[in-house]
Amino acid sequence: MDDTLYEEAVKVRENAYSPYSNFKVGAVLLSKSGIIFTGCNVENSSYGLTSCAERNAIFSAVTAGEQEFSKLVVVGDTEDVTVPCGACLQVMAEFFDAETEILLANTAGLKKTYKFSELLPVSFNLGDDRNV
């Protein structure tokens, strides 16, 4: 399953709109019900309005009625794996539990797997048990 999700993330990465940074990222999110959602980064000349691939995949899933997830795959063209930014990690904290699997990768095939709690051991939350 990881290879299929990885390949889908590599594929959706090509849809990224990144004319300012030329840094394309693809993300694939697997819901606990088995539905796959994809996202790519979409930049804006006002960088603060840029939306990352991870958040786009999560927002797409939530829009479709899914809020429980088992795995996220993130792929970028970097020397090491591509790590989510702080804003993405905080959004993940709304929907991921500590054990949610995160596969970080690059386009050369390097892959590293983490539990969500390893990437964000402490997050802002309002006491929801799903949060780390």
Q: Which tens digit of pLDDT belongs to each residue from 109-130?
A: 999 999 999 999 988 776 655 5
Residue 132 annotated as binding?
no
Quick count: other Cβ atoms within 10 Å of Cβ 62?
Answer: 14
With left for phi above 0 and alpha for psi between -120 and 50, is residue 34 left, alpha or beta? left
Q: What is the mean pLDDT of residues 17-23?
A: 97
- Check the annotation: does 94 bind a ligand: no
Q: Kindly state the average pLDDT of the residues 92-119.
A: 97
Q: Which residues are catalytic?
A: 54
pTM above threshold 0.95? no
HSE-up (13 A, CA, CB side) for residue 57: 36
Interatomic CA distance for residues 47 and 28, integer angstroms: 23
**DSSP letter string, 47-90:** GGG-B-HHHHHHHHHHHTT---EEEEEEEESSSSPPPPPHHHHH
SS3 content of the chain, % helix, strand, coil (to 5): 30, 25, 45
Closest C-alpha to 67, from 29, 27, 119: 29
pLDDT digits (tens, 9 = 90+) for 61-87: 999 999 999 999 999 999 999 999 999
Query: What mean pLDDT comes out for the span 77-105?
Result: 96
Query: Residue 39: its pLDDT value, please?
Result: 98
Task: Report whether 88 belongs to an annotated binding site.
Answer: yes
Q: Is 40 annotated as a binding residue?
A: no
Q: How confident is the model at residue 55 (pLDDT cuts 50, 70, 90)?
A: very high
Arithmetic mean of pLDDT over the chain: 94
Per-residue pLDDT, 130: 52
Please report the pLDDT score of residue 2 as a whole number.
87
